[in-house]
Protein backbone atom coordinates (compact mmCIF):
# COMPACT_ATOMS: atom_id res chain seq x y z
CA UNK A 1 0.00 0.00 0.00
CA UNK A 2 1.53 3.30 -1.04
CA UNK A 3 0.91 6.69 0.52
CA UNK A 4 -1.36 9.31 -1.03
CA UNK A 5 -1.53 13.08 -0.52
CA UNK A 6 -4.35 12.56 1.99
CA UNK A 7 -2.10 10.32 4.12
CA UNK A 8 0.49 13.07 4.65
CA UNK A 9 -0.23 15.15 7.77
CA UNK A 10 1.66 17.85 9.67
CA UNK A 11 3.46 16.19 12.57
CA UNK A 12 3.47 12.79 10.86
CA UNK A 13 6.72 10.80 10.93
CA UNK A 14 7.57 8.90 7.74
CA UNK A 15 10.12 6.20 6.90
CA UNK A 16 11.97 6.03 3.59
CA UNK A 17 11.44 3.27 1.05
CA UNK A 18 15.18 2.63 1.41
CA UNK A 19 15.97 3.59 5.04
CA UNK A 20 19.53 4.59 5.86
CA UNK A 21 21.41 5.70 8.95
CA UNK A 22 22.59 9.30 9.23
CA UNK A 23 26.08 10.24 10.40
CA UNK A 24 24.79 10.51 13.98
CA UNK A 25 23.42 6.95 13.91
CA UNK A 26 19.74 7.89 13.65
CA UNK A 27 17.48 6.84 10.78
CA UNK A 28 16.76 9.30 7.95
CA UNK A 29 13.07 9.47 8.90
CA UNK A 30 11.24 12.74 8.15
CA UNK A 31 8.70 14.73 10.16
CA UNK A 32 6.36 16.95 8.11
CA UNK A 33 6.34 20.45 9.64
CA UNK A 34 4.40 22.37 6.98
CA UNK A 35 2.12 21.59 4.04
CA UNK A 36 1.53 24.32 1.46
CA UNK A 37 -1.92 25.86 1.07
CA UNK A 38 -2.66 23.95 -2.13
CA UNK A 39 -1.06 20.73 -0.85
CA UNK A 40 1.51 20.76 -3.66
CA UNK A 41 4.60 21.10 -1.48
CA UNK A 42 5.77 20.54 2.09
CA UNK A 43 8.65 21.19 4.48
CA UNK A 44 10.17 18.53 6.70
CA UNK A 45 12.70 18.04 9.48
CA UNK A 46 15.07 15.10 9.70
CA UNK A 47 18.27 13.98 11.42
CA UNK A 48 19.86 14.12 7.97
CA UNK A 49 19.61 17.96 7.95
CA UNK A 50 22.74 19.57 9.44
CA UNK A 51 22.28 22.03 12.31
CA UNK A 52 21.87 25.60 11.12
CA UNK A 53 20.38 24.66 7.74
CA UNK A 54 16.91 25.63 6.54
CA UNK A 55 14.22 22.95 6.50
CA UNK A 56 14.01 21.54 2.96
CA UNK A 57 10.89 22.33 0.95
CA UNK A 58 9.99 19.62 -1.58
CA UNK A 59 7.24 18.87 -4.04
CA UNK A 60 4.53 16.59 -2.59
CA UNK A 61 4.99 14.06 -5.41
CA UNK A 62 8.73 13.85 -4.73
CA UNK A 63 8.05 13.25 -1.02
CA UNK A 64 5.52 10.52 -1.86
CA UNK A 65 8.11 8.78 -4.08
CA UNK A 66 10.61 8.92 -1.15
CA UNK A 67 8.25 7.84 1.67
CA UNK A 68 7.32 4.25 2.32
CA UNK A 69 4.94 4.48 5.29
CA UNK A 70 4.07 6.43 8.43
CA UNK A 71 5.70 5.30 11.68
CA UNK A 72 5.54 5.95 15.42
CA UNK A 73 8.40 7.60 17.30
CA UNK A 74 9.75 4.17 18.26
CA UNK A 75 9.94 3.14 14.58
CA UNK A 76 6.96 0.79 14.55
CA UNK A 77 4.32 1.18 11.81
CA UNK A 78 1.65 3.76 12.65
CA UNK A 79 -2.04 2.91 12.74
CA UNK A 80 -5.16 4.98 13.44
CA UNK A 81 -5.63 2.95 16.64
CA UNK A 82 -2.36 4.47 17.95
CA UNK A 83 -3.85 7.95 17.84
CA UNK A 84 -4.68 9.23 21.32
CA UNK A 85 -6.91 12.34 21.23
CA UNK A 86 -6.00 13.21 24.84
CA UNK A 87 -2.26 12.92 24.27
CA UNK A 88 -0.50 16.07 25.47
CA UNK A 89 -3.51 17.24 27.49
CA UNK A 90 -2.82 17.51 31.17
CA UNK A 91 -5.26 15.48 33.27
CA UNK A 92 -6.64 17.32 36.32
In 3D, which of 2, 8, 32, 28 has the Cα closest to residue 16?
28
pTM of the model: 0.77
What is d(CA 37, CA 89) in angstroms, rounded to the nearest whole number? 28
Q: Write out pLDDT tens, residues 40-68.
A: 999 999 988 888 999 999 999 999 999 99
% of the chain surpassing 90 pLDDT: 52
Q: Report residue 82's pLDDT band, with 50, 70 and 90 as the boundaries.
A: low
Instruction: Write down the domain spans for the chain.
Output: 7-78
Amino acid sequence: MSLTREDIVVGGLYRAKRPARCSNGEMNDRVVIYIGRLGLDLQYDSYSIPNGRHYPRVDMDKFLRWASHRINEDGTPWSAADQNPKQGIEQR
